[in-house]
């Protein structure tokens, strides 16, 4: 279909009904898979879902059904017990209704009319209580009507490429003290091909789930006796993590960053100075020592500020670059915890740069170059988003302008395409967010570069300028990975556990065919350790094929089979999992190859 289904005006999407009624003119939105079209398609599909539920469960009442990143959902309640198995029945009913070709009609009611119309529906009353103004939209399709601001398609016949994806619970309005509603998620596209592609990606994502792969590869675990959201790093996962740290550390040293370390807990008085106590307290953990309240750090900024304050600073010293793999704790709600992607304890690849205002551009440029090297090493494509001054902010217009222009110049000088989020900056300064795209085309927010004029002011940071007067430094917050936990989760799913050799948790598995070859295999293992490679000898009393299968399950890049011939000739019979080939190498050739592979990536 090529029908016009909406109008885009001032970055807002309107359906054709609203545009015609209100005389809105703008860019036409066609029935396709554009972002604007999908917002209309998916919003309409949410109403189709609600109509199907209403026809199947007459007592159903509905709260809200918005479009979200993963498609759409609807929150509702019914006396019937809804299970995952019921989604097929509901979806079938949706298809039946869509084929009726029901016109979707909009009417506008006053608050009084709307309150009267939905007087017996406490969920709609709850929705209206959160909306200001005296005008409410109601959309009707057949005998189903729902309070909604839109936008919607003109007819249900457009809806043919959708799928219900999951069932969940949701508190009314997100309030943990309110009643629990049922939430059904779904996805919709303009055509079946796009839907099938998406569903294939979802199945692939399930196979790549880092929680599943982490268990299979023995990377990490969680233990309820310890607590939710607190990962335990097993030896193989810790090796993976340490290798990434080593690569980062080498790069940071070259770029003249200094290692520092702040304490895990700080007096609450310092969190009051920083503003975290007033603005972030609900996300923090507190304890009391000798009658004094302390806060466990949710970020590393204050510790680095104290390092800066440990000495008088001159303009000649700047920029000062401090880094720390800082462990932080944040009080995340149990409902949002998700493997390593959302935890309560994590380690940031954190750095803070203290510089003069005229140094912002060059420092940000270096960070961008650093980011590019890291992302390229892992095969990620990425995009950057510049967020500018919000309505509620601190600092002079001149400093904000200088900081924002410095970020723009740093991006543009490297010919980096970027989007601008007007008003999306932090209250203390503009920022650049780094969003990576993985092998499945999913986007992940990872790193960030933030310009901060707030904390230097709050803590009275100074340096002596060239004219012997005091000046205030600019503080740049910089994290490229974001956190090791989240980044490793993304890496795991990006590679499906098939990590590149240079970071693989176990890089070589040596399998002696018989007991007589164990000593030879162990000698090679020890030699590999001196090269910085992790190797294991699989010498359990199992069949050769079973040991090979176990190595494959661990996704080990190189498997070396060692028999009498290999010992006699000082060779190894290699199975290369990444290249999907088999070959034989002399021992020294093998060591050279491994050493080359380990050193092939530098940040």
Read off the pLDDT of each residue in 41-68 and give the average, rounded to a whole number.
95
User: How many Cα atoms are found within 13 Å in the side-chain-facing hemisphere of 370?
Assistant: 26
**Residue 301: active-site member:** yes
Angle ∠(433,434,437) on CA atoms, nearest 5: 140
| Residue 391 confidence class, pLDDT cut points 50, 70, 90 | confident
* pLDDT tens sequence across 308-339: 999 999 999 999 999 999 999 999 988 889 99
Nearest alpha-carbon partner for 594 in 513, 512, 502: 502
Query: Of 296, 312, 342, which one is at a domain's C-terminal end?
Result: 296
Based on the fold, state whether residues 431 and 372 are members of the same structural domain: yes
**Catalytic annotation, pick one of 45, 148, 301, 355:** 301
- Is 43 annotated in the active site? no
Give yes or no: 352 in active site.
yes
Query: Is residue 158 pLDDT above 70, yes or no?
Result: yes
Question: Using one digit for the tens of pLDDT, what is the confidence trace for 472-497?
Answer: 999 999 999 999 999 999 999 999 99
Range of the domain at 546: 508-598
Confidence of residue 161 (pLDDT cuts 50, 70, 90): very high
**pLDDT score, position 45:** 96
Is 60 exceeded by the pLDDT of residue 1?
no
Query: Which residues touch 482 (CB under 8 Å, ≥6 apart)?
Result: 348, 349, 445, 446, 447, 448
Q: Is residue 44 part of a domain?
A: yes
Q: Is 143 a catalytic residue?
A: no
In this prediction the pTM is 0.81
Number of structural domains the chain divides into: 4
Instruction: Residue 178: give its domain's CATH number.
Output: 3.30.980.10
> Based on C-alpha coordinates, what's the Rg of the chain?
29
What sign for the dihedral angle of Cα 184, 190, 195, 201?
negative
Mean pLDDT of 3-18: 91
Does residue 133 sit within a domain?
A: no
Beta strands in 453-534 (DSSP E): 463-464, 470-471, 474-479, 508-512
Higher pLDDT among residues 508 and 178, named by residue:
508
Does residue 168 sit in the same domain as residue 253?
Answer: no
Does 431 participate in catalysis according to the annotation? yes
pLDDT, residue 406, reads 86
Comparing C-alpha atoms, which of 265, 389, 253 is closest to residue 323? Answer: 253
Q: Please indicate, yes or no, if residue 125 is contained in any of the structural domains.
A: no
* Average pLDDT along the chain: 93
Query: What pLDDT does 252 receive?
Result: 96
Given 47, 276, 297, 477, which residue is catalytic?
477
Same domain, 250 and 351: yes
What is the predicted pLDDT for the residue at 36?
94
Query: What is d(CA 231, CA 485) in angstroms, rounded to the nearest whole number?
Result: 9
CATH of the domain at 521: 3.40.50.800
Name the band, by pLDDT with cuts 50, 70 and 90, for residue 583.
very high
* Residue 258 confidence class, pLDDT cut points 50, 70, 90: very high
Same domain, 283 and 422: no
Q: Which of 75, 146, 349, 350 is catalytic?
A: 350
* Per annotation, catalytic residue among 54, 106, 330, 575: 330
Name beta bridge partners: 258: 322
Instruction: Indicate if 9 belongs to the active site.
Output: no
In a domain? residue 13: yes
Q: Using DSSP bridges, classify how beta strands 418-421 and 431-437 pair: parallel, antiparallel or unpaired.
A: unpaired
Catalytic annotation, pick one of 17, 51, 141, 348: 348
Exactly one of 106, 243, 431, 525 is catalytic; name it.
431
- The owner of tokens 């080939």 is 581
Domain co-membership, 305 together with 443: yes
Q: Are 53 and 210 in contact (CB under 8 A)?
A: no
């Amino acid at each position: 279909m090529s029908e016009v289904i909406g109008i885009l005006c001032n970055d807002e999407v309107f359906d054709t009904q609203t545009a015609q009624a209100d005389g809105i003119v703008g860019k036409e939105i066609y029935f396709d898979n554009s972002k604007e079209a999908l917002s209309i398609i998916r919003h309409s599909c949410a109403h189709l879902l609600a109509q199907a539920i209403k026809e199947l469960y007459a007592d159903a009442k509905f709260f809200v059904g918005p479009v979200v990143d993963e498609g759409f959902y609807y929150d509702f309640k019914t006396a019937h017990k809804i299970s995952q198995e019921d989604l097929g029945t509901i979806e079938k009913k949706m298809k039946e209704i869509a084929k009726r070709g029901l016109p979707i009609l909009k009417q506008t009611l006053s608050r009084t009319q709307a309150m009267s119309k939905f007087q017996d529906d406490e969920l709609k009353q709850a929705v209206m209580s959160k909306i200001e103004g005296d005008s409410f939209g109601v959309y009707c399709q057949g005998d189903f009507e729902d309070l909604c601001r839109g936008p919607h398609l003109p007819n249900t016949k457009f809806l043919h490429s959708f799928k219900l994806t999951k069932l969940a619970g949701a508190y009314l309005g997100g309030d943990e003290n309110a009643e629990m509603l049922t939430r059904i998620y779904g996805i919709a596209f303009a055509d079946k091909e796009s839907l099938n592609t998406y569903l294939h990606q979802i199945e692939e994502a399930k196979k790549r789930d880092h929680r599943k792969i982490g268990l299979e590869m023995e990377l990490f675990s969680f233990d309820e006796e310890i607590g939710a959201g607190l990962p335990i790093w097993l030896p193989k996962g810790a090796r993976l993590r340490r290798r990434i740290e080593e690569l980062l550390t080498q790069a940071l040293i070259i770029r003249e960053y200094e290692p520092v370390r702040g304490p895990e807990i700080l007096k609450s008085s310092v969190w009051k100075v920083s503003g975290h106590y007033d603005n972030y307290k609900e996300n923090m953990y507190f304890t009391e020592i000798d009658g004094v309240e302390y806060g466990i750090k949710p970020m590393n900024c204050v510790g680095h500020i104290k390092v800066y304050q440990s000495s008088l600073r001159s303009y000649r010293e700047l920029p000062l670059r401090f880094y720390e793999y800082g462990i932080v704790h944040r009080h995340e709600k149990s409902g949002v915890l998700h493997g390593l992607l959302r935890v309560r304890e994590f380690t940031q690849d954190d750095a803070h740069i203290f510089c003069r205002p005229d140094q912002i551009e060059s420092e940000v440029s270096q960070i961008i170059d650093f980011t590019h090297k890291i992302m390229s090493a892992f095969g990620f494509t990425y995009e950057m988003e510049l967020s500018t001054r919000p309505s509620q902010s601190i600092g002079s217009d001149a400093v904000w302008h200088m900081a924002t222009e410095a970020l723009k110049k740093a991006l543009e000088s490297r010919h980096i395409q970027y989007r601008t989020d007007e008003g999306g900056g932090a209250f203390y300064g503009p920022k650049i967010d780094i969003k990576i795209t993985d092998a499945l085309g999913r986007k992940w927010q990872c790193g960030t570069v933030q310009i901060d004029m707030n904390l230097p002011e709050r803590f009275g940071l100074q340096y002596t300028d060239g004219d012997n007067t005091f000046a205030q430094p600019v503080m740049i917050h910089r994290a490229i990975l974001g956190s090791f936990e989240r980044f490793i989760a993304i890496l795991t799913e990006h590679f499906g556990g098939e990590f590149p050799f240079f970071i693989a948790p176990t890089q070589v598995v040596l399998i002696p065919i018989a007991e007589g070859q164990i000593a030879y295999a162990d000698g090679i293992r020890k030699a590999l350790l001196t090269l910085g490679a992790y190797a294991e000898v699989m010498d359990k009393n199992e069949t050769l094929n079973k040991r090979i299968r176990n190595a494959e399950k661990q996704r080990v890049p190189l498997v070396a089979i060692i028999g009498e011939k290999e010992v006699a000739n000082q060779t190894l019979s290699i199975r290369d999992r990444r290249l999907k080939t088999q070959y034989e190498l002399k021992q020294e050739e093998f060591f050279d190859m491994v050493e080359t592979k380990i050193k092939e990536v530098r940040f």
